[in-house]
Structure 1
């Protein structure tokens, strides 16, 4: 780590500019909350406005987490400056703009999670934000380099003003980046964005290798192929009765479990039993399939077989009313939910 800039920062930044449609400038940090918070501060500086509209999950800092059920410790004055809206709901966006005329600095959103955007939805969001002078921020911490080399903005053909990247950027090394329009990123010196390890070179060296590989398009192609193959194998292997309570949705490279159990207690028991039995069968899974380019056909076969055995246990527990008896731990309780 150096206290001054190193040429590798420019080399990695140049690669990001060449790949990501909105990237005219780049600034590095360590995690997602760093760069989503930077995007919000930049948007406020650029617009002279304070209110923020959020759509998805954007980290732990006050400006966002105060809009969730995990708001303890966040001042009300901060909470009042953020409004959350559902994905694919243009009417909700129109309502908050009407309620806060000329007050909204930014709309920050995940361009996709478990739900595909409706036809024209992202394009209309782009049009509305431009019309009202609102900075559009794509949180691409998960979609970045997964849907396409240039992220979901390349995949869907919609270019935001700013975007946040991380996770896959350095393939597990701690690195994130905010990218976007030069007219906004050039405000960086005036908002004070700094961190002791922001220029840490090992992560930047990893990112340089990652981005060179991403530029070929092969990693994202393989992610989609392996993710699609995994979903197909799971669907073929699992017991048919499991489709009554669990299905999958999302992009092939990032699939979400979608449960259809109404009773919260039964749902908690079923989810926990599935995780327990998957672990017993050698697979660690939570609620999504985050496939990697390292996955093999044999890995997918193993995961599908684990699902078949595990979902048979869950289906039996539901049918017999023995979910709790099958658990070897207390049911897991989610802290909060931020995605559909």
Structure 2
């Protein structure tokens, strides 16, 4: 199912784009909601990636609705979106088959004191899509799943330490991961010491870790890939290394699952994890995540074993909401029935090629880069010296927003058409013209307000350093 092409944005015209950036008056309702939100919600949002500090001043603060690949903010400005709910929307907003499945489930009630057949239906649909998994447990977000995987690994191996890939930015909101970031306030040092790190694509890095901590590591966890594909044999080699040292091999498939392929990165790269964690695109934005894996490990969270102590694995009041599981099962059936994966790869490739051509045309090859797999693109923004720059990222976002696209990343969905992608390429081309001028006469002359900031900073200061220590 395809949504018709996005005809034009109600915000951002060629005439406006050619002049001075707009002002905060473009978003009056958003500004009012932002003030109210910060008064009662820490950070003003419930996800750090959605926070005001992640966007330029001239950006919509609140979105009101979405349809396909389009979104409208509370002030009525329209955009073609390329964030897609932080990669959770694989099919498109309000995708009919999925929303209808959720509505039908709501007619019978959303939560009960005993299981419902929706749980079996969704589990069977999931396991059919992920052949390496033998059992699955559903939960609500990615952190539930990855933290459950670490608990299982520790119980199964009798070990305490976890090895995480240092090149992958996020695994969980829980202490075992957040303690490794600069935002480690409130996490005991004893917890931080239990998490170790290795480098992606470097087997010797992981081997050295096992040599320094013999018999102590319960699991290695990483994403199958983020940007480039893994080196040939790397994932299978890391799995073998983990097993030789008595550790479990765990894949975080929150992003790669149902985007790289229906069966995730493990299908693309031909590797079977002991445990794997899914979420985001598997339910097209509904709150469902999954911890799946080999029966020998997963059974420790069940009722049938007597040879290991019980593992209190995952127990969420809302983990089996009927409408969410119905949405997830229907989403997975759409991936089975329709050419979703082929389409997002094709649209992503079209977007990549168009953006790269615009970058070359503006002479910005050394300053703007398109990175990632075609189905999951992002961009790099570098300053005049070639260093990563939040100010130039903010400028690029500001200028693309003014031209009618919302692109914190360049992620496409099944609802993006060729016309939508071409519209985005034109917006990127216009934004790059401003970028080129800013390299010559200073980004501060073109960026309205402060730059966006990285999430992982210790203090809420412009440079992330403690006050008085700059």
User: What does residue 331 of structure 1 align with?
Assistant: 451
Q: Distance in 2 between matches of 1:263 and 1:334?
A: 20
More helix by percentage:
1
What are the within-5 Å matches in structure 2 for residues 262-277 of structure 1? 267-277=389-399
- Unmatched runs of 5 consecutive residues or more in structure 1: none
Q: 2:265 aligns with which of 126, 132, 152?
A: 152
- The question of whether the paired residues in 1 share the 8 Å contact of 2:146 and 2:252 is answered with yes
Q: 1:95 aligns with which of 208, 230, 240?
A: 208
Q: Distance in 2 between matches of 1:40 and 1:264?
A: 39
User: What does residue 133 of structure 2 align with?
Assistant: 23
Residue 115 (structure 1) shift: 2.9
Q: Distance in 1 between matches of 2:382 and 2:400?
A: 19
| Higher alpha-carbon Rg | 2
Cα pair distance change 1:48/1:266, threshold 3 Å: closer
Aligned-residue Cα RMSD (Å) equals 1.6
Q: Distance in 2 between matches of 1:264 and 1:333?
A: 18
Q: Distance in 2 between matches of 1:48 and 1:262?
A: 52
Residue 116 (structure 1) shift: 2.1
Residue 230 (structure 1) shift: 1.1
1:179 and 2:298 equivalent? no
Moved more, 242-251 or 301-310: 242-251
User: What does residue 8 of structure 1 align with?
Assistant: 118
1:51 and 2:161 equivalent? yes
1:213 and 2:213 equivalent? no
Q: 2:402 aligns with which of 270, 273, 280?
A: 280
User: What does residue 136 of structure 1 align with?
Assistant: 249
Q: Distance in 2 between matches of 1:14 and 1:2?
A: 20
Cα pair distance change 1:127/1:319, threshold 3 Å: same
Residue 229 (structure 1) shift: 1.2
- The question of whether the paired residues in 2 share the 8 Å contact of 1:4 and 1:199 is answered with no
User: What does residue 317 of structure 1 align with?
Assistant: 438
**TM score, norm. by length of structure 2:** 0.69
User: What does residue 122 of structure 1 align with?
Assistant: 235
- The question of whether the paired residues in 2 share the 8 Å contact of 1:3 and 1:199 is answered with no
**Is the partner of 1:53 in helix, strand or coil?**
strand
**TM score, norm. by length of structure 1:** 0.95
1:185-205 Cα offsets, whole Å, 9 max, x none, are 111132212111011110101
**Is the partner of 1:241 in helix, strand or coil?**
coil
- The question of whether the paired residues in 2 share the 8 Å contact of 1:242 and 1:312 is answered with no
- The question of whether the paired residues in 1 share the 8 Å contact of 2:367 and 2:386 is answered with no
Residue 263 (structure 1) shift: 6.0
What are the within-5 Å matches in structure 2 for residues 43-82 of structure 1? 43-55=153-165, 56=168, 57-82=170-195
- The question of whether the paired residues in 2 share the 8 Å contact of 1:21 and 1:153 is answered with no
Higher relative contact order (CA 8 A, sep 6+): 2
